[in-house]
Structure 1
Amino acid sequence: MKERVYSMDAIRVLAMILVIIVHTKSNFFNSDVHFAVFAFFKVIGTVGVPLFVILTGYLMFDRNYKDNAYLQRYLSRNLFPLLISYEVWNVAWNILRYTHVAENPQKWSAIFKAAFFMGDTVSALWYLPMTIALYLGMPILSMACHNITSKPYQKVLLIALILSGTLIPSVAPLASLVGHNAQIHSVLRMNIFGASVWGESVWMIYLLSGYAIYKGLLKKFKASILILFGIVLPFSCMYAIEFTNHTVQNYDFILVVILSIATFELLTRTEKALSLHEKIRFLIVKISTFSFAVYMMHIFVGGAICRALEKAAGMQMPVGSAFHWGAGLILYAIYIVTIVLIVWFLVSILKKNTFIRRYVLLMK
């Protein structure tokens, strides 16, 4: 049995928190109330989904897909449960929408189309079709990466991927900063196993960067360099841009890509520190085990909490508007913790059913 890598659990928990922030920050802050805080969460929140995809590349890319026995296990343990989970949540989300705590119900015809991959989910569920596509292509991409050893071809492919995945998509947002509406987009689509979702080709970059980090290709960069040029500089630039009434918070924007990859690499270097703190390690592993459930439930749980605050305490959205920004931050932290605790409580009940545990909550 492989030894557990606790830094991967830490990354999964951080990504989970950032995804919660993406979908709930407007419940507490917006561009009119404590804008500096809202902009901060807007910038850091964008890193959440990329971290999940990089994690997939780190954990899943270097597998023995040539082995037919393993490939069969991969289908039954990884791909099929993910597909079943998507189909269940696709229906469950629309049922939950009738509570009107977070989203309005969609037409069931749209849900049917999404179920058969004939239409977009038009919701945060977009992440699952994209992941399913990545899992479908993972064995082919992995074997191609391991068997094509021509350095010139690898370099050409890498250049094409970087250009189409992030550099070209970054031109239009940058041009908008000087008032130019650049009609520029990448024509080359490098997400040969992807979905029609935000970012397109960039998901290949995130997936392959996870594998590169796994192989230790970024270890040559000192932590100080990664912090300065991979964290501080990209974050500062994007945060400053938010104050210009523009935004560049797209998954394929070059600074988002750099920030996401640098964050992941730095977190892999926390393994030794985590191994020395048993209580922190236990908490991280515990939360990590139901992080997928948090992703699936947080929008509706968070929405229900806000509706309860409106009715019971007479609070208006965004909640932070009634408080100093510091108090708003504390309340928001409590809000996020409460979401996680409620999901944990629900999971502790639901996981008693073997099917739900394995194929809906994706808990092994």
Structure 2
Amino acid sequence: MITEAKVLKRNPGLDAVRTLAILLAVFSHAVPAHISFQRFSPTGQIINSMLVALGHIGVPIFFILSGYLLLDRTYSDKQAIQRFYRQKVLPMAIAFTAWVLIYDVFLKLLLKRPTGILQVLEDLTFISRQNGNPNNLGNFMWNAWFMPAILGLYLAIPFISRAIHQFPRRGLWAIYLLVISQTMLIPTINLFLNAAGKVGFSASQLDLSYFGARSATYFFAGYLIRTGAFEKWRTSLLGLFTVITTGLIMYTQYAFQFTDYTRFNGGQLNMPYEYILLLPCAAAIVAWGSRWKITSIWLRRCFYTTAQLSLGVFLIHRMVQLVIEKLGWFAGMTLTQQTFALWGCLIIISYLLTYLLSKLSFVDRWLLLGR
């Protein structure tokens, strides 16, 4: 139950940012996939580019928020670590296992996807075959990749937190910049070289899998923000920086739509999460949002509620989308109209379903990870 005491303990700006993140993430899935950019009208091309770019800012915000809230905590003894695994990791593992099974049943019923025992085991263990598998869960549920990514980071949190608290600040920055150069800078350079028809660098040979690679790059940014990375920045400067980097990301998406970027189907570039400007943009949004002064109890309660339901919306919205597409609700609209209509329906229906499910205490605790 949402009480005024709970609401007042929260940082309302972070709740607002989490709400913004889910709105943006759903936008990235509402944009028509595998459709040539040239099929849009000139105005539609601009709008589509803006929506794809904005949509890909949402997920990085989620990772940064998790790092902001969890890495600065103290895991000083065995009991604290056990408590974290019992209260955070175990419920998450159970919830994600349940959601994979729900997805498998849903896809079997709606799309007649083959769902044998081996396929279910692959889905539950987040394993995909080397030669590709058209029935891979991720080919249908585009949001499924988030589950192993965030679960893997949660498994490492107590150990990472204990290490970084013992490490000199300059040393942390040096290692972090090295990781960024490998996980984001090189892929970004490749992005521009490939768009110009040139061969880029090969992937980095430095094994960063222990660090969590791309997801952890965003995750660790949250810790740096929490511990003062932007403390000398004025709030107005943070806002301006957010606007400028967002504009650059949108322009990049728009400009690259006209190139023969064959890595993406149909000639459509979906802004990759390795694009280096996404990191400072999402980080600035979180730092900026943490300073927002929201005094209205009604607004604070609204943002608290939408933030609490955001994970459920993220897990449910793709199923809602597949049903809407199966029914052909927006077949007579232009591509741009379809995008906005689909996004609006996904947000409204997914939030409504998540809210109703959250009223069932068992579902709220074990499927939606409510608190």
Q: In the alignment, what sits opposite 1:69? A: 79
Correspondence for 1:316 among 324, 331, 341: 331
SS at match of 1:125: coil
Percent identity between the aligned chains?
23
Q: Distance in 1 between matches of 2:17 and 2:169?
A: 33
1:147 matched to 2:166:
yes
Instruction: Map 1:230-269; keep pairs closer than 5 Å.
Output: 230-246=245-261, 247=269, 249-269=271-291
Tell me: CA distance 1:119–1:301, structure 2 relative to 1, closer, same or farther (3 Å).
same
Give the conservation status (yes or no) of the 8 Å contact 1:190–1:204: no
Deviation at 1:105, TM superposition (A): 5.3
1:180 matched to 2:192:
no
Q: Distance in 2 between matches of 1:30 and 1:285?
A: 39
Deviation string 1:181-203 (CA, Å, 9 cap, x unpaired) is: 22521122324153xxxxxx122
Amino acid at match of 1:220: K
SS at match of 1:276: coil
Give the conservation status (yes or no) of the 8 Å contact 1:15–1:49: yes
Deviation at 1:333, TM superposition (A): 4.5
Q: In the alignment, what sits opposite 1:198? A: none
Give the conservation status (yes or no) of the 8 Å contact 1:171–1:184: no
Where structure 2 has 5 or more consecutive residues not aligned to the other structure, the ranges are: 1-5, 130-136, 262-268
Instruction: Map 1:81-92; keep pairs closer than 5 Å.
Output: 81-92=91-102
Q: Structure 2 length as normaliser, TM-score? A: 0.82
Deviation at 1:266, TM superposition (A): 2.4
Give the conservation status (yes or no) of the 8 Å contact 1:85–1:359: yes
Tell me: CA distance 1:117–1:336, structure 2 relative to 1, closer, same or farther (3 Å).
closer
Deviation string 1:281-336 (CA, Å, 9 cap, x unpaired) is: 332222112111111110111232344454xxxx427x334xxx5xx2xx755543
Give the conservation status (yes or no) of the 8 Å contact 1:136–1:193: no
Instruction: Map 1:1-364; keep pairs closer than 5 Å.
Output: 3-26=9-32, 31=37, 32-33=39-40, 34-100=44-110, 104=113, 108-119=117-128, 121-122=137-138, 123=141, 124-149=143-168, 151=170, 153-192=171-210, 194=212, 201-221=213-233, 222-223=237-238, 225-227=240-242, 229-246=244-261, 247=269, 249-269=271-291, 271-272=292-293, 275-310=294-329, 315-316=330-331, 319-321=333-335, 328=337, 332-333=339-340, 335-364=342-371
Deviation string 1:49-84 (CA, Å, 9 cap, x unpaired) is: 111100100011111111333322211221011101
Tell me: CA distance 1:81–1:43, structure 2 relative to 1, closer, same or farther (3 Å).
same
Q: Distance in 2 between matches of 1:108 and 1:296?
A: 23
Give the conservation status (yes or no) of the 8 Å contact 1:25–1:38: yes
Amino acid at match of 2:282: S
SS at match of 1:13: helix
Query: Relative to structure 2, which stretch is displaced further, 227-236 or 206-215?
Result: 227-236
Tell me: CA distance 1:19–1:30, structure 2 relative to 1, closer, same or farther (3 Å).
farther
Deviation string 1:158-204 (CA, Å, 9 cap, x unpaired) is: 2321211211122211111221122521122324153xxxxxx1222
Q: In the alignment, what sits opposite 1:197? A: none
Higher RCO, Cα 8 Å, sep 6+: 2
Deviation at 1:106, TM superposition (A): 5.4
Q: Distance in 2 between matches of 1:23 and 1:104?
A: 21
Tell me: CA distance 1:237–1:333, structure 2 relative to 1, closer, same or farther (3 Å).
closer
